[in-house]
Amino acid sequence: MTDKRINITQRVLLKLDSDSIHEYIFSTGKLKQIQGASKLIDDLIFNLLPHKMEADQDKEIIIQGGGNLLVEYSFSDTISDDMIAKRMDEHVKMLCDYYEQETCGATITGAWVEYQQEEYFSTALEELNQKITWKKGIPSPPSLLPGGSYLKRCESCGKETCYRFDSASNRFLCFNCVNKETKSEKSEEALSKEKSKQVSNSGTKRWPECWPEYAANDWSKMDVEEYYRRLPASFEDLVKDEKEGEKWLGLIYFDGNGMGETLSAIKQKEKLKQFSCKVDKALNRSVVDTLSCLFSYSETGKKAPFNVLMLGGDDLVLLIKPKKACQAAEQIIDKFEKYTAKYGFPLTASAGIVFFHYKYPIAKVIHAGKELLKNAKRHACEKNIKKMMAGRELPGSTVDFTLLGDPGSENPEVYRKKLRQRVTACSQGVEQPYLFCRPYEVSAFRELLEKIKNLKNKDAKLKDAKLSASRLNRLRQGVLAGRAKAMYTTLHAIVHGTSSQLRKNLKDSLMYGGGRKPIDLFEPPYVIEKIKNEDKEIRRTVVLDIADLFPFVGDDYCKRTDENDIRVEL
C-alpha cells in the first residue's frame, strides 16, 4: 500500500458515548452502590479516560460530562492517512476496553472521523454522530456465562454471579457491586488526588465542587469532602426521622428540551465547547442554588435531606424529601431557563416527579421517572406548547408526576388508561372523562401547588378553612365511582363546606383546568375543554392530581415571585 502523505495538519474528532448509563447506575437497590456507580462514571469521564488518551498528540476536549466525551486530535502532516486510521482504531478499542474493565461490564461506544479544515467541523460532527448511532444499533454479544441455577446470583443487583460475601451488608455481591461499594467509600485523600489529576474542558466542573461558589447561606462552607460525608448512605437515612406511615421519598428526573436540535444547529467548534460548559454550569448552579435555599445547613454534620444520584450535561436524577420535591423541580427548571438565557444559550426543560415508599424498588422508580419525563415532553409537543426566550421559540417546560402505590403504577400512562377504563361508563353521547389534568406546564403546576397550599390552610384563625383528609378521600372516591357520583360528592363538599373560605378554595381549585382554557360550562368536578377544529368536548378533573400531591406539598410552600428571583452574578 502506498504511503500517501498529507500536506496540512490533520484533525480527528473522537467521541465516546456511554451505553445504557442509567441501567448501569441503577441496576442495584442499594443507595451507596448507586452513588459509587455514578462517581465511577464521573471519574472515567473526567480523569481516567482523558489520561488514557494519546499522550503524544495535541488534543482538545470539547464536550465532557453526562457520560460523554468529544475530543479533537491534531496530527502532524508527516503522518499518513493509513497510519492515522490504524492508530485511531486501536486507540478507540483500547479506551472502550478500559471503560468496560473499570466498570466491570458497562460499555461505551466510540468512533472517530477525520477532517482537515475548520469549516468542515459541523459536517464531521454530524458524520461522527451517525457512526455512534449505527454502532449502538448493533446487538452486543451474549454473555459467556449462562447464569444457570447452579451459579449464585448477586443479592444486590440480581444480575451477575456472586464474587464475595460482604459482611457489612450481610449479602453476597458480584464484582460489579463490590466495585461500586468500594468507589463510594473512597477516602478524602483519594478524592483530593483525583481532583489534582482531573483533565477537563476549560470551565467544566464536577458538580460536587460547585457548593462553595454557588450555594446560598451556610451551605457555601461545604467542599467536596464535606459533601460526600453528608450524603445519606441508605434510603433509611433519608426517612429515619419520619413517623411510621410517612416514610416516603421524592425523585426528580430532569432533562433539557430540544437539546438535539440545539446541538445540530451549532456549526463552530468553539461555540459548541462554550455551549457544553455553559449548560453544565447552568444546571450545576441551578441545583446547588435551589437545594441550598430549600434546606437549612446543619452545623452538627447531620446527613443531607437529598442525594444527587446523577448530574451531567442537561441530565439530573435527584433523590429528595417528598415535601420539597415539587418546589425543587419547578425552581430548578425556572433557574435553568434563566441561567442558560443569561449565559447566551437559552433552553427550557421538563421533569418527572415520582413519590414512593423508601422500600419500593429503585429500578422501578427510575423507570417511572423516565416515563413521566417522556409524557411531559410529548404533552408539550402534542399541545404545541412554546416559550419565547431571547428571540427563539422553544418547547415549553412541562412537569408530570405520579405516586407509586398500586401495582403497575410504575408505568404511568398504562396505569392511567386502565384506571379510566374501570370508571363507571357515562350516559350515551358523553365521552368518558379524563381522571387527570397532568402533565402541566410549569406555570400551571405552580398555580396548582398554590391552590393545594390554600386547601391546607394553617391559619389558626381559619381552622375550618382546611380541607380534611376524609373529605378529600370522599372526593377521590367519587371521581373513581363515575361522573354522576363525582358531581354529587363535589357539590356536597362545596355547598356543605365548614367555612366560606373552604367553600371558596374548593370551588377555585376544582374549576381549575390545569393551565388549559376550558369553556364556561362547569360540571363539578370537571372542566370542559373544547378541542380545536373538532366538534368534540373533553372533560377533565384535577381531583386526583390534588389528592396525590396533597400530602407532599409542604406548609411552607412559597410561590416564586420577582422578589425571590434567582441570584445571578456575572
| pLDDT single digits (tens) 176-188 | 777 766 665 654 4
Judged by average pLDDT, the poorest of 21-35, 297-311, 452-466 is 452-466
Q: CA-CA distance, 178 to 165, in Å (whole number)? A: 10
Residues 171 and 207: their CA atoms lie apart, in Å, by 32
How many angstroms separate the CA atoms of 379 and 399, rounded?
9
pLDDT of residue 515: 79
Q: Which of 194-208, 237-251, 309-323, 497-511 has the lowest mean pLDDT?
A: 194-208
Q: Under a CB-based contact definition with an 8 Å cutoff, are residues 13 and 115 in contact?
A: yes
The CA distance from 485 to 494, in Å, is: 14
- To the nearest 10 degrees (0 to 180), the angle between helices 500-510 and 442-455 is 160
Using pLDDT thresholds of 50, 70 and 90, give the confidence band for residue 330: very high
The grid cell for 371 is 416515563
- Amino acid letter, residue 216: A
Which of 250, 289, 281 has the alpha carbon at shortest distance from 344?
281
Mean pLDDT of 211-229: 86
Instruction: Report how far apart, in Å, the C-alpha atoms of 167 and of each of 31, 150, 164, 185, 497 are.
Output: 17, 23, 9, 15, 58
**Residues 514 and 444 sit within 8 Å (Cβ to Cβ):** yes
Give residue 313's pLDDT.
Answer: 86
Confidence class for position 94, pLDDT limits 50, 70, 90: very high
Q: Shortest CA distance to 283 belongs to which of 193, 214, 186? A: 214
H/E stretch holding 451: helix 442-455
Average pLDDT over residues 342-349: 92
Tens digits of per-residue pLDDT, 262-314?
888 888 999 999 999 999 999 999 999 999 999 988 887 889 999 999 998 89
pLDDT score at 544: 94
Give the pairing type, strands 522-523 and 440-441. Answer: unpaired
Enumerate domains of the chain plus CATH numbers: 1-136+151-201 (3.30.70.270), 205-415 (3.30.70.270), 423-552 (no CATH)
pLDDT at 164 over 80: no
Confidence of residue 562 (pLDDT cuts 50, 70, 90): very low
φ, ψ of residue 311 in degrees (nearest 5) = -150, 125
Tell me the CA end-to-end span of the chain in Å, nearest whole number.
57
Position with higher pLDDT, 335 vs 385:
335
Stated as kind and residue range, the H or E segment containing 297 is: none
